[in-house]
């Protein structure tokens, strides 16, 4: 199984267009919004979430570019973890495609009904199917997006466990964790790579830019998850532009690496 990190930042990316915080003005390498591509054979690819940056992410990734025919594409489908706009708006950038399947929990499909009406000819299957790979789904949160005032009951957020039976490689993708949910330890057991919610480093991080509490935003801070993963070669993704781990010279960055975890850049590829 091939895994390509198309983007590793939280909503808005880094630098964020409306932010002049120290990190956004530091000149650090930019990060696009979180999105992952997976493939069993290197020919057909599936997206885990679909960020608003998806056009640039596809064009910047040779394995995802169109061809060899004039309208052929290696994209085969999309798996959404939730209905947040930074994880789903990219679907509109792919609206020229015909017949792409998009899997999402029922509550997410309900929330995205207006978007679904635009994507004519697309399918929204009730079961996840990636040929050559086994997919398991774990509900992890009932946190609704801000734009949803009511509607279907959760779960609103899920994590994916994707296994390659041919190699035994296992990817777990969990970019949004409000807590360490029941069953998560068993879900990640034996995983070759876990892409874990690293949105914020500390629970009061957004106070510096006038933002709300991190837990209310549905993200477990790294200070709460790092002790649980010490010694495991897991990777943090979905990094917010305020997160000090983005700076390689910061003590927070050093602490993550000292615990054995990774902070991979956009474009990083894994073979599992």
The angle subtended at Cα 156 by Cα 51 and Cα 132, nearest 5°, is 65
Determine the pLDDT at residue 204.
78
What are the domain boundaries of the chain? 2-265
- Provide the token pair at 147: 């734009």
Say if residue 130's pLDDT is above 90: yes
What is the pLDDT at residue 261?
Answer: 96
Write down the CATH number for the domain with range 2-265. 3.60.15.10
Preceding peptide of 272 cis, ω within 30°: no
Distance CA 265, CA 267 (A): 6
Helix 251-258, helix 222-229: angle, nearest 10: 30
Q: Is the pLDDT of residue 250 over 60?
A: yes
Rounded to whole angstroms, the Cα distance separating 115 from 122 reads 11
pLDDT for 205 equals 74
- Cα separation, 77 vs 75, in Å, equals 6
Identify the band that residue 99 occupies on the pLDDT scale cut at 50, 70 and 90.
confident
Q: What one-character-per-residue DSSP string does 118-136 give? A: HSTT-B--SS--BTTBEEE
The Cα 219–Cα 231 span in angstroms is 22
Q: pLDDT band at residue 190, thresholds of 50, 70 and 90?
A: very high
Assess whether pLDDT exceeds 70 at residue 257: yes
The overall average pLDDT reported for the chain is 93
Decide if 154 contacts 111 (C-beta within 8 A): no
Residue 82 buriedness (CB in 10 A; 0-12 / 13-18 / 19+):
buried
pLDDT value for 8: 98
The pair phi, psi for residue 106, each rounded to 5°, is: -55, -40
């Amino acid at each position: 199984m091939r895994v390509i990190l198309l983007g590793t930042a939280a909503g808005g990316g880094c630098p964020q267009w409306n932010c002049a915080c120290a990190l956004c003005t530091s000149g650090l390498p930019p990060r696009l919004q979180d999105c992952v591509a997976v493939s069993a054979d290197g020919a057909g690819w599936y997206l885990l979430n679909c960020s608003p940056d998806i056009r640039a992410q596809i064009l910047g990734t040779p394995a995802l570019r169109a061809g060899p025919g004039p309208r052929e594409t290696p994209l085969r489908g999309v798996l959404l973890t939730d209905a947040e706009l930074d994880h789903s708006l990219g679907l509109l950038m792919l609206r020229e495609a015909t017949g792409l399947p998009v899997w999402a929990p029922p509550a997410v499909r309900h929330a995205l009904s207006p978007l679904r009406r635009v994507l004519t000819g697309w399918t929204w299957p009730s079961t996840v199917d990636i040929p050559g790979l086994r997919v398991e789904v774990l509900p992890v949160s009932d946190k609704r997006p801000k734009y949803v005032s009511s509607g279907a009951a959760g779960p609103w957020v899920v994590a994916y466990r994707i296994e390659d039976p041919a190699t035994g490689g296992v990817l777990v993708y969990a970019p949004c964790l409000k807590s360490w949910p029941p069953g998560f330890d068993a879900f990640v057991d034996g995983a070759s790579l876990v892409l874990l919610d690293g949105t914020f480093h500390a629970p009061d991080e957004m106070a510096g830019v006038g933002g709300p509490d991190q837990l209310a935003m549905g993200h477990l801070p790294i200070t709460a998850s790092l002790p649980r993963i010490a010694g495991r070669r897991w990777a943090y993704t979905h990094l917010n532009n305020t997160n000090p781990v983005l700076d390689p010279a910061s003590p927070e960055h050093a602490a993550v690496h000292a615990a054995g975890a990774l902070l991979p850049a956009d474009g990083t590829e894994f073979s599992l």
